[in-house]
Amino acid sequence: MGEIVEFASDGRTCSGYLAAPKGGRGPGVVVIQEWWGLVPHIEDVCDRFAAAGFAALAPDLYHGKTAGEPDEAGKLVMALRGDEAAQDIGGAASRLSAGQPPADTRVGVVGFCVGGGLALRAAARHASIAAAVTFYGLPRGEFDAASVHGAVLGHFAGNDRSYTRDQVDDLERALRAGGADVEVHWYDGAEHAFFNDTRPEVFAPEAARLAWSRTLAFFRSHLGDPAAPAA
């Protein structure tokens, strides 16, 4: 359904996977990869957004590299420059919010694992982002929750050992204190990466379906419903 495109990124050029909705235009969603990189699973997520009426763009934060094993993925994450990743995510958001077909000016961001933390950082950095969704990811290091623009939706796994409920609760309180509209859901019994259907050892179909339906409803509420007639 999608294609590889190039877009401007703070004086550089970045590439990414863009999936357009059938109608040609729709609210834009930046999709941020897990630590594996821009792999077929992330492209499939973009395709699923497009099928739901959104224009979805996943920037290639590793610039052509992907990982198949945790050790490889860990090395790629460690080598990822935060400022460059932020620029690439911002470039993707600008590509969508500029009103160029097939997107329109309403933009959201969704990230998975490490991408979830990057999604929240992007929402704090780019005013064009009206809604942010994190799947089992928290920002690493210092994070100014008061700078987050728009609404936030969080999906967290009850059996995930990469964070604690206290950490998520602290983030939720900080976001609310900064004025953000926050919605957090816990999926008891689910493990980290429960949404990734290419990993049968952790994929939780019921939790994934529920999280997906909540994500679509969230973006339709805050970015506009692609199925609704134009005003």
CA distance 204 to 173: 28
DSSP 111-152: EETHHHHHHHHHHHH-TTEEEEEEES----S---GGG--SEE
CA distance 146 to 202: 33
User: Distance from CA of residue 24 to its chain's centroid?
Assistant: 21
Beta-bridge partner residues of 32: 111
192 is annotated as an active-site residue: yes
Residue type, 179: G
160 is annotated as an active-site residue: yes
Q: Which of 126, 149, 155, 192 is catalytic?
A: 192
Residue type, 8: A
197 is annotated as an active-site residue: no
- Any idea which residue has 């994934």 for tokens? 208
First to last CA, the chain: 28
CA distance 228 to 94: 24
Q: Which of 113, 126, 149, 222 is catalytic?
A: 113
CA distance 169 to 167: 5
Within 10 angstroms of residue 221's Cβ, the number of other Cβ atoms is 14
Supply 50's token pair.
């497009």
Question: What amino acid positions are annotated as catalytic residues?
Answer: 113, 160, 192
